[in-house]
């Protein structure tokens, strides 16, 4: 029996810059949303970091999200690859569509297929009524996997490292969404940017972080900027446990994610 009559709200987390906090954002949003409604976290990055953080380090014997986007003869249904997190019992409220390096091979295998930018969207269709929320992680570079992750979503969030490289990545991501729109793709609504790894020395924000946040505002004046997530060893520790920062008891580090969830709820109730 389907859990929900309404289709899942699908949120992708993307930024065309490595180490910007995408997977951290997916882990936090998916874990927190799962307290409200059944949530599927989709690892759509061949690095497989989200799968590893949720306890699935070795998937060599298992079908993964890669098989769900293959041409029809080799395709596996998404229901067959979904797994619960290993390291924390979440009673089925949070589930994972895992990934590993085999997703890069799948990207090569679909490179010449018509409609190849929307294979993830197609793969998720059978489970839309099983979940209230689907949160998708994506790779850091431009390419077919990132296009699939973006075009599968209703909403997009862009975590941006507080560095020059991070800001360039956020700007490139917004440009990519505009390019996809110009090509008549249905693009997700950008909910906003989360400045991440915001560095402070005591009571003072570092010049680099301050400059990066100013540069985001200047380059992307129409895009909402959520509270920043500070640089903290707590983030790394909770990631490896597969916990959200809220579960780790750090409400201030979790603030940006709380804001994203409130915005998602507001926007989706207006939709």
Smallest separation, CB 101 to ligand ATP (Å): 13
Helices vs. strands in the chain: H and E counts, helices first? 10, 8
In the complex with ligand ATP, which residue's Cβ is closer, 45 or 67?
Answer: 45
In the complex with Mg ion, which residue's Cβ is closer, 22 or 38?
Answer: 22
Applying CB under 6 A, which residues contact ligand ATP? 18-24, 45, 47, 49, 140, 196-197, 229, 231-232, 235-236, 239
Smallest separation, CB 195 to ligand ATP (Å): 10
Residue 4 interacting partner from ligand ATP, Mg ion, none (CB closer than 5 to 8 Å by kind): none
The only residue of 12, 15, 17, 22 in contact with Mg ion, by rule CB under 5 A: 22
Please give the structure tokens belonging to residue 242: 């597969």
Which residues 6+ apart lie within 8 Å of 254 measured at CB? 28, 32, 244, 245, 246
Which residues 6+ apart lie within 8 Å of 264 measured at CB? 9, 11, 155, 191
Residue 189 interacting partner from Mg ion, ligand ATP, none (CB closer than 5 to 8 Å by kind): none
Smallest separation, CB 259 to ligand ATP (Å): 15
Please give the structure tokens belonging to residue 219: 């380059």
In the complex with ligand ATP, which residue's Cβ is closer, 127 or 156?
Answer: 156
Please give the structure tokens belonging to residue 28: 């936090």
Region from 42-50, 99-107, 161-169, 242-250 binding Mg ion, contact rule CB under 5 A? 42-50
The only residue of 12, 17, 23, 238 in contact with Mg ion, by rule CB under 5 A: 23
What is the strand order of the sheet 39-43 is part of?
Answer: 94-97, 39-43, 133-137, 9-13, 155-161, 189-196
What is the C-alpha separation between 83 and 131, in angstroms, rounded? 14
Please give the structure tokens belonging to residue 15: 């930024």
Virtual torsion, Cα 264, 121, 38, 137, nearest 10 deg? -70
216 touches 192 (CB < 8 A): no
49 part of the interface to Mg ion, by CB under 5 A: yes
The distance between the two most distant Cα atoms of the chain, rounded to a whole number of Å, is 59
Burial profile 108-147: b = 16 or more Cβ within 10 angstroms, e = fewer: ebbeeeeebbbbbbebbeebbebbbbbbbbbbbeeebbbb
What SS3 class is residue 208?
A: helix
Smallest separation, CB 119 to ligand ATP (Å): 20
In the complex with ligand ATP, which residue's Cβ is closer, 9 or 197?
Answer: 197
Smallest separation, CB 166 to Mg ion (Å): 14
Smallest separation, CB 97 to ligand ATP (Å): 16
In the complex with Mg ion, which residue's Cβ is closer, 59 or 132?
Answer: 59
Smallest separation, CB 65 to ligand ATP (Å): 15
Region from 41-49, 62-70, 113-121, 219-227 binding Mg ion, contact rule CB under 5 A? 41-49
Binding site for Mg ion (CB under 5 A): 22-23, 49
């Amino acid at each position: 029996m389907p859990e929900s009559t309404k289709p899942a709200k699908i949120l992708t987390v993307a930024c065309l810059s490595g180490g910007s906090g995408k997977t951290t954002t997916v882990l936090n949003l998916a874990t927190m949303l799962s307290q409200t409604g059944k949530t599927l976290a989709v690892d759509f990055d061949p690095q497989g970091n989200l799968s590893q953080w949720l306890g699935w380090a070795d998937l060599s014997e298992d079908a993964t999200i890669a098989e769900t986007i293959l041409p029809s003869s080799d395709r596996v249904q998404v229901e067959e690859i979904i797994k619960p997190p290993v390291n924390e019992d979440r009673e089925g409220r949070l589930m994972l569509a895992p990934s590993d390096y085999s997703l890069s091979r799948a990207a090569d295998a679909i490179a010449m297929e018509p409609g190849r930018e929307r294979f993830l969207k197609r793969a998720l269709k059978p489970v839309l009524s099983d979940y209230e929320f689907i949160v998708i992680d994506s790779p850091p570079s431009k390419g077919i996997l990132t296009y699939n992750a973006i075009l599968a979503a209703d909403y997009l969030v862009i975590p941006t490292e507080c560095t020059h490289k991070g800001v360039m990545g956020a700007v490139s991501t917004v440009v990519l969404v505009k390019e996809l729109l110009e090509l008549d793709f249905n693009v997700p609504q950008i909910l906003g940017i989360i400045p991440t790894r915001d560095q402070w020395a005591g009571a003072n924000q570092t010049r680099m972080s301050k400059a990066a946040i100013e540069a985001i505002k200047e380059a992307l004046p129409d895009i909402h900027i959520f509270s920043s997530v500070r640089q903290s060893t707590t983030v790394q520790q909770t990631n490896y446990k597969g916990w959200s920062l809220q579960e780790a008891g750090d409400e201030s580090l979790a603030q940006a994610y709380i804001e994203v969830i409130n915005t998602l709820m507001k926007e989706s109730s207006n939709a």
